[in-house]
Structure 1
Amino acid sequence: MTIKPGFFKRVKALDFQQKKVFAVALCQRMLPNYQLFSQVCEFGDPQILDTVLNLLWQSCYDQKLKLNIDIYLERLELNTPDAADFDVYGVYPAMDASTALISLLSAIQGKVEEDIVNISKLSSSTVANYIEAISDVEMDEEAFDDYIFNHEVMVEEKTLQDSLLQLIEDSPKLDAGFIKALRKEIIEAGVSNIGIATPEV
């Protein structure tokens, strides 16, 4: 599943800090998927994911902030659902939301820039799997791939990722004001990559 020719080349061309902001923004957008699943299935603590996201945003502009990554990795692992334990589709996007944060923390800890880039692919994969789950169409594999790629939810995902990338490319100085405004915008949009609204607490 590709987005635009040259898209990942552009993401890879970002510096480490820009890549991190891009990935944190995508993880924030996946949070409602976990929150809704947690509420409906009474599993896990969404506050853990929210805390990790808050700290990650802060670490993007506060260089003195030290994250105890090992502790948060352990907490996230404990709050990641196992698909085998649940007979609802929602477990998959919830699992992806938690896995994205685990991958991002591990990538930051090891300074593995390629794994930070992969958050973009994971978000798109969540969307592709969602479209597959809600679609009742009969077609061959190639035609179905095209169907997914051109589905409105995927078009929205591609558009958002591209807009986010453009915004970061155009803002080489990622100061506190920029980071806080971006975080506020995503949270206030109140909708996930698969159209899940942030649930009422």
Structure 2
Amino acid sequence: MTTKLGFFKRVKALDFQQKKVFAIALCQRMLPNYQLFSEVCEFGDPQVLDTVLNLLWQSSYDSKLKLNIDIYLERLELNTPDPANFDVYGVYPAMDATTALIALLSALQSKIEEDIVNISKLSSSTVANYIEAISDVELDEEAFDDFIFNHEVMLDEKALQENLLTLIEDNPKLNAEFIKSLRKEIVDAGVSNIGVGMQEG
């Protein structure tokens, strides 16, 4: 548990710009979850999320770029699926993908750094819910928590967030070259926090 606390202490110790890039990277990783759901259930427009992500990345190194946050918040709300309307598990990670972007835009607008940090927790909770959905095990609550915490997909998520955090800590200047290469790395990896592949097109 101490390592977990240590991790969030480190995230909180980042400056505003570093927190922003950390959160954008995590949101980028959640995009395939929305793309797949949108394709399968013919709901929403993944391009809206893609556009918001592109603008967020760009705004991280181009101070002249001004985001009209209210317009994008409205578009994201319109493209957020309601689980009550879908009988598929994929609605939840898709909803988390838009929720994460809405939370990030709102945090940037209000300058509430704690809300940016919460994107990390949201990404991990998407993974925890996914593990719960795919696992058919009978365990008491504490044992089940341990099972989720030590599941391969959760270990991958923790490792990725840890590596991402270290990378950002080691590059406090966050110039355009660093941000562009980080974005390319995540997009090229082409896989989400729950192992969903990037959709072409």
> TM-score under structure 2 normalisation?
0.98
**Counterpart of 1:109?**
109
Higher mean alpha-carbon deviation, 2-11 vs 142-151, is at 2-11
User: 1:87-126, aligned counterparts within 5 Å?
Assistant: 87-126=87-126
Q: Is 1:14 paired with 2:1?
A: no
Following TM superposition, the consecutive aligned residue runs of length 4 or more in structure 1 with deviations greater than 4 angstroms are none
1:30 is aligned with what amino acid? M
**Counterpart of 2:48?**
48
SS in 1 for 2:195: coil
**Counterpart of 2:199?**
199
User: 1:118-157, aligned counterparts within 5 Å?
Assistant: 118-157=118-157
SS in 2 for 1:44: coil
Q: CA–CA distance in 1 between the matches of 2:3 and 2:43?
A: 33
Q: CA–CA distance in 2 between the matches of 1:135 and 1:45?
A: 30
SS in 2 for 1:70: helix
1:102 is aligned with what amino acid? I
Q: Is 1:184 paired with 2:175?
A: no
Alignment: residue pair count: 201
Q: CA–CA distance in 2 between the matches of 1:69 and 1:149?
A: 35
Q: CA–CA distance in 2 between the matches of 1:79 and 1:17?
A: 27
1:55 is aligned with what amino acid? L
**Counterpart of 2:66?**
66
2:115 is aligned with what amino acid? D
Q: CA–CA distance in 1 between the matches of 2:5 and 2:135?
A: 26
On the 8 A contact 1:3/1:158 being kept in 2, the answer is no
Structure 1 residue 199: Cα displacement: 1.7
Structure 1 residue 170: Cα displacement: 0.4
Q: Is 1:37 paired with 2:56?
A: no
Alignment gaps of 5+ in structure 2: none
Structure 1 residue 3: Cα displacement: 6.4
> TM-score under structure 1 normalisation?
0.98
1:121 is aligned with what amino acid? K
Structure 1 residue 5: Cα displacement: 3.7
**Counterpart of 1:79?**
79
1:119 is aligned with what amino acid? I
